[in-house]
Amino acid sequence: MENQSAFYVHCFAHQLQLALVAVAKKQVEIASFFNLVATLTNMVGASCKRRDILRGKHANVIREGLESCEISSGRDLNQEITLKRSGDTRWGSHYSTLLRLASMFSFVGAEAHSLLCSMQSFEFIFNLHLMRKVLKIPCELSQALQRDDQDIVNAMSLVKVSKTRLQLLRDNEWDLCLIEEVLGFCEKHEVAIPNMDENFIAPGRSRRKLPQVSNLHHFQVEIFYQVINWQLKELNDRFSEIKTELLICVACLNPRDSFSSFDKKKLVQLAKLYPHDFSFVELLELDAQLEKYILDIRSDSDFDELTTIGELSKKLVKKRKHIVYPLVYLLVNLAVILSVATTTVERTFFAMNIIKNKLRNRMGDEWLNDCLIIYLEIDVFDAIENEKIVQQFQNMSTRCGQL
């Protein structure tokens, strides 16, 4: 049965990683770029010898930089690094991979001879710098979204900051930042720079079937503008105003630090999002209850150690406060049933890679869901005796042999 009071908010941290990378891959050149990066990291990472050579070359570069005073020394600086694989279910992994690839570009190509021609191209370097800038913008947001619900307010403000920074990147940083960095990088590594006024020639495609556009139009309009426009649209769709407002209001119920996030106006606004649960008269009564509620629980030492809304709900029942403040308790319960998936979704996606692998790649949705439930709720199923499971299967239908 459909519940009018049920809101669902997707796993923002996980969806952010998927949104920014997957949406960018709608652009054919960006998708090819990420495929090439994945092939490169697999080729280098599959060989211990290649990894050791790569670390040795990077150490030599750091040593030379320190001797020439081009880079500074200090704690946590100039750590040993190597290329690492990126993953859709690991926050920030794509950005980290591109960052390392850019810093190790001069000697990575030597270990991947078959990919050297593709890497030594203006288009590869342009896409590398573009995606590094795009994925750098939401780094702080991704980290904030992994924390507990007490940081929702800051996370939602970072959503707005990320959108603004993407818009500024689109409007102001083509000439001032991006293209200058790409040209400088190409000159440093002796990569040919195309004439931006000449017609763009797509490798491996017939010139007759493609519209004639300049290199400048291709890189600026078809890639730069298009990728950023998709990022902005995806973020606007995923982080809608109603979801943002909902989470900010829910955060006001958090009991951490003596209910420091409490805001009566926002909690009344939260109640207005549930018109089927709060009438106009009850909203007025809720306003009065919230004033007495916050004074009461802040003076009760039993509420001092609470850190989550779930713990608050249990404590209200234990102290029989749910009878004294029924409307506040209803608001807390509505917040508790709000499905905000966070790091548990990452665990689910990793479990999918274990359950549905190459040997079981035709597994249906229902069977996959059943297997995932057993894997994720292993603590519950460990308590079930094997004999009961055997009897359950034996009683389902007649079998040729007894289990």
Predicted confidence (pLDDT) per residue in 294-345, tens digit: 999 999 998 988 888 888 999 999 999 999 999 999 999 888 876 544 445 5
Residues 106 and 150 in one domain: yes
Are residues 68 and 216 located together in one domain of the fold?
A: yes
Nearest to 262 by CA among 214, 321, 332: 332
230 and 266 co-located in one domain: no
- Tell me what the pLDDT averaged over the chain comes to: 77
> Which domain-ending residue is among 291, 309, 340?
340
- Cβ neighbors of 383 (< 8 A, separation 6 or more) are none
SS (HEC) of 177-236? HHHHHHHHHHHHCCCCCCCCCCECCCCCCCCCCCCCCEHHHHHHHHHHHHHHHHHHHHHH
User: Any idea which of 40-49, 87-96, 340-349, 392-401 has the lowest mean pLDDT?
Assistant: 340-349
Range of the domain at 372: 356-403
Q: Are 255 and 261 in contact (CB under 8 A)?
A: no
Kindly state whether residue 300 falls inside one of the protein's structural domains: yes
Same domain assignment for residues 99 and 189: yes
Domain count for the chain: 3
Dihedral angle at the C-alpha atoms of 124, 125, 131, 137, nearest 10 degrees?
A: 180
Distance CA 52, CA 54 (A): 5
Question: In this structure, are 148 and 275 located in the same domain?
Answer: no
| pLDDT value, residue 296 | 93
pLDDT digits (tens, 9 = 90+) for 105-143: 766 655 566 666 778 889 999 999 999 898 888 777 776
Are residues 261 and 217 both part of a single domain?
no
Residue in 17, 14, 34 with CA at minimum distance from that of residue 25 = 34
pLDDT in tens, 256-298: 888 888 999 999 999 998 888 899 999 999 999 999 999 999 9
Question: 242 is written with which tokens?
Answer: 């109603």
Q: Do 179 and 307 reside in the same domain of the chain?
A: no
Contact 44, 108 (CB under 8 A): yes
The model's pTM:
0.64
Provide the b/e sequence for 303-337 (b: ≥16 CB within 10 Å): beebebbeebbebbeeeebbeebebbbbbbbbbee
249: its two tokens: 């209001």
